[in-house]
Amino acid sequence: MLKASGVVRSQSRLSGVRLLGQGSISRAVTITVSGASATAIAAIQAAGGTITLLNAPAEAAPEA
């Protein structure tokens, strides 16, 4: 929806929407974004919602 309206213009790693955790949320929502702050993720989950990060960081490989 944001791409169709011209807010987000390309699919590069640096484009997209980052969700920041300022304010409050009282309903469960499902959100897919390029990135999110830890505060935003905690708020979404506390309200019973889910968040999907498109550019999720890779987990570190265990050391040998």
> What's the pLDDT score for residue 63?
63
**Mean pLDDT by groups of 10 residues along the chain of 64 residues:** 68 71 91 91 95 72 59
Question: Does 7 map to a domain?
Answer: no
| pTM for this prediction | 0.66
> What's the pLDDT score for residue 33?
87
Q: Which residue range forms the structural domain that includes residue 26?
A: 18-53
> What's the pLDDT score for residue 42?
94
DSSP one-letter code for 53: E
The number of folded domains in the chain is: 1
Question: Does 34 map to a domain?
Answer: yes
Give Cα 16 to chain centroid, integer Å: 10
Question: Does 60 map to a domain?
Answer: no
